[in-house]
Chains A and B, each alone.
Chain A
Amino acid sequence: MAVMFSVGKADDPRSMELLETVCRHCGAGLTKEQDSFCCSGCAFWYQFSQTKNLEFPEAFPVYDVQGLREQYNLNRGTDQSRYRFHVAGLQCSSCVHSLEDLPLHFPEILHARVHYAVSELYIETTSEHSLDRILEILKSMGYPAVPLRANENSQDQSQKEDRDLLSRLAVAGACAGNIMLLSVANYAGLGGPWARGFHLLSIVLFWPIAFYSMQPLYRSAWSAVKTKSLNMDVPLVIAFLTGSGLSILNWWRGQGGIYLDSTAGFIFFILVSRWFLRVSNRKLGEGFSQSLEWQEKIVVVERDKEVHRLPARELKKNDILFLSPDDIVVVDCLLQSSHAQFDTSWWTGEILPQSFSSGAKIPAGYRLKTESAQLKVTSEYTQSELMQGLRSIESDGFLTKKSPSRFDQAAKYLLLIVFSLAAVMGCFGFLLGLSFQESMERALGLLVVACPCALAFGAPLAYGLSMRKILQAGALVKNSAILDRLQECNEIAFDKTGTLTQGKLELVSHSPAKLPEWVKSLILAMEKNSRHPVASAFRDLWARENLPSVTVQDVIEVAGEKVYGLYSGQMFSLKRGLPRNQPSGLLVGLFQGEVELAQFEFKDQVRSEAEKIVSQLSQKYPLSILSGDEQKRVEEMAQQISVPWKEKRGGCTPIDKALWLEKHPNSLFLGDGINDLQALAKAHVGIAMDGPLLSTLQVADVYFLKPGLQPLKGLIDGAKLCRKLVRQNLMLALIYNVLAGSAALMGFINPLAAAVLMPLSSLLILANSWRAAR
């Protein structure tokens, strides 16, 4: 039975019009964008439940050669192999289930585990398995995956640090909590030996905090001192040491002024805020070099009259490269075959395959669309135009100019002021005629009551919560400083193909208006093996209809021109349709002999949600289009989305786009991946709609995990919320600190009040943040 509730699928569960339909497989609500299924995993398993067919095309051996596969195995030297993949296309709960159900159907897969937050998949297999087959399965399911090398241990490192910080945090929390409980009795007036005993117990409980939880802070403060610089941890450690030292001394001398509870609580809150920062700033793709994932891609080459299989990075000039269909060209080459077609969309944004003949220059990034091709390598892997482009991005320093978050720094300064004031009070209290003991106590009171944790806590909390909200909307933000930069953007530029449009052909109309079933079956049969975008458009549309299957004989495809074949004794062909009144899209006709039986019009449609979102944005920002496509088509599309466009530029090369963005320094740019890398890097905030996640994120600031423009709204709202929240939190902390701090300096605050006020201020900040981010 279909469940009518959305399981986190529709972008906004409150708008009911989005929930008209549910996924046929899992019953999750569908957005208007989606047809029948919520994700490719659901489509895959639904098809399986109908056909019970789990056949996959024979995988081309890429990883299953020599010792290569072992380099990816995390469990080397055991019976079971374990692999870690980066998976693209994870977008909902059903994706998790789809992938984790793999062991039920494939005996060689023992265990599959998704790590959703970082788009990773762990798979354990029996010794009898093929890594290529697993990759093929994942690809057929709609989750193209890249295996990650086993020796890339940065992930383990960061996981170890995560666990370490969490353990220290837990110990600090438990100790601080118990110390506070014991202190309540003392504040409430307990005296005599019991009070002394309770304090002693506090000191014992304080031990793990001082010697275990504080370790990372000691280390970082010490390394700052060694390099004669100042970081947040130096004043924190000084405050901690004076606070705890003085408290223990006072206990020894049998005096009041024991602040262990506040000091412990303060350390606990500091560690919590560190944890928050760490989680919200979790860097994706850490440890990956500045390159695309292709350098390990195994290619087939002929070198010195011998055929080799080697990783792309070992390619040399004059090697002869053999490509099979859908292979990506990994280095710059010259075409040797007499004729071939390539998908050039990464470079040009053009979605129809382009024809090239012998001798043509084929840069890295093109994708073969015909049956085979032979190319002569003209550059090494690192010297291709694409790689040089990527390197120029890095060396031009675009990536480093991006400074840390302003509010974070504001919080740091406030914290420093509090600490300096306390230090001045402690050292120069005698000038006010106070005893040493009194001035020390006031200084400590200030530290305790002014609770730097409210300051240290406020900003990270706001960033963490906003980033989380944005992630739920489907946008992955690389780090928190980007939220500040988003606020500084005053202009938006869009790429066209794949950004404002779907980036693929879609059937928009056909004549006759009602097609007989046999025509559909015939076309599907003829286009069965074609890689032309028109063929996939037909398949997308009709493959799931229950059509009678027909046999077409002698199907021949003349790449990029036509497909023809024999059906019940007659010659049928699919080719460019006869032009009629002013078509704007691509016309394809089905011919019987020379008679046109049916005509189809294809277009790269504007995304259905684009108009609404773009017109909302146009009220606040000037908008422009930068496209590699022809000016004519850009104009046409600009008319479809009728907002006052500031600039409409067609025919832009990737460099043109980057130059435009240089001239407009505070602009937000949305592009669709590789061909926009330079532009994404130049933009104040670069948003990638698509592309290989890890490499794209090297240069882009934001990556949309959900298809379409929908996440953009969540992103901009989230950045706004963040700014508001940080301001509120800092304001609250500031007001509280000025009031309580001056009271403490004047000696009005007794230990009990301090102990109550301190957690109160933190709670205030917490409550305010949760309220706003709900």
Chain B
Amino acid sequence: MNVLLFMIPFALIMGFGFVATFLFAVRQGQFDDTETPAHRILKDDPSRKEIYESKSTSI
């Protein structure tokens, strides 16, 4: 049973590490908008890359 003395505090620390991370993310505003990222990810990257390249060469 002694292993529990290590396991339980360790599990709790890990668990609350995650809670802290979540709270940090909430404060950063990562959950303010849960809809737009789903649209954002559908964007094909190459076209953006092309535009960047064309822009950097023109400058």
Which A residues are closer than 8 A to B by beta carbons?
3, 7-8, 92-93, 96-97, 100-101, 104-105, 113-117, 159, 162-163, 166-167, 170-171, 174, 177-178, 194, 201
Residues B2-32 near A (CB distance < 8 A): 4, 8, 11-12, 15-16, 18-19, 22-23, 26-27, 29, 31-32
What residues of chain A lie closer than 8 Å to B42, measured between beta carbons?
A: 7-8, 93, 97
Given A178-B15, A201-B8, CB of A167 within 8 Å of CB of B35: no
A116 close to B35 (CB less than 8 A): yes
Contact of B57 with A by CB under 8 A: no
Query: Which of B23, B32, B44 contacts A170, CB < 8 Å?
Result: B23
Binding site for A on B (CB under 8 A): 1, 4, 8, 11-12, 15-16, 18-19, 22-23, 26-27, 29, 31-36, 39-40, 42-44, 48, 51-52, 55
A93–B1 CB distance below 8 A: no
Some 14 contacts from A to B, beta carbons below 8 A apart, are: A3-B44, A8-B42, A92-B39, A93-B43, A97-B39, A97-B40, A101-B51, A114-B36, A116-B39, A117-B35, A159-B29, A162-B32, A174-B16, A194-B1
Q: Give the most central of A3, A170, A194: most B CB within 10 Å.
A: A170
Known: A104-B55, A194-B1. A115 touches B33 (CB 8 A): yes
Smallest CB-CB separation from B18: which chain A residue?
A174
Q: How far is the CB of B23 from chain A (nearest CB, A)?
A: 5
Minimum C-beta distance from B58 to chain A (A): 10
Contact call A96/B39, Cβ cutoff below 8 A:
yes
B37 to chain A, nearest CB (A): 9
C-alpha spacing A461/B42, complex, angstroms: 28
Flag if B12 contacts A178 (CB, 8 Å): yes
Considering the complex, give the chain B residue whose CB is closest to the CB of A163: B26
A170 in contact with B19 (CB, 8 Å):
yes
A117 and B39 alpha carbons, distance in the complex (Å): 11
Alpha-carbon gap, A105 to B48, bound state (A):
11
- Given the known inter-chain contacts A167-B26, A170-B19, A174-B16, please indicate yes or no for A117 contacting B36, CB distance below 8 A: yes
Contact B26–A170 (Cβ < 8 Å): yes
Residue of A whose beta carbon sits closest to that of B31: A166
- Do A96 and B51 have beta carbons less than 8 Å apart? no
Q: Which partner residue on chain A sits nearest B51 by CB separation?
A: A104
- CB A51 to nearest CB in B, in angstroms, measures 15
Q: Is the CB of B40 within 8 A of A96?
A: yes
In the bound complex, residues from chain B placing their C-beta under 8 Å from that of A104 are 48, 51-52, 55
Complex CA gap A163/B24 in Å reads 11
Neighbouring A residues of B23 by C-beta, 8 Å: 167, 170-171
Q: Is the beta-carbon distance between A93 and B39 smaller than 8 angstroms?
A: yes
In the complex, the answer to whether A163 meets B43 with C-beta atoms within 8 Å is: no
Q: List 10 additional contacts besides A93-B43, A96-B36, A116-B33; criterion CB under 8 Å.
A: A3-B44, A104-B51, A105-B51, A114-B36, A116-B39, A117-B34, A117-B36, A163-B27, A167-B26, A170-B26
Are the C-beta atoms of A116 and B31 separated by less than 8 Å? no
CB nearest neighbor in B for A120? B33
The contact of B33 among A97, A105, A117, A177, by CB within 8 Å, is: A117
Complex-state Cα separation, A166 to B40, whole angstroms: 23
Residue contact A116 to B15, C-beta cutoff 8 Å: no
B33 to chain A, nearest CB (A): 5
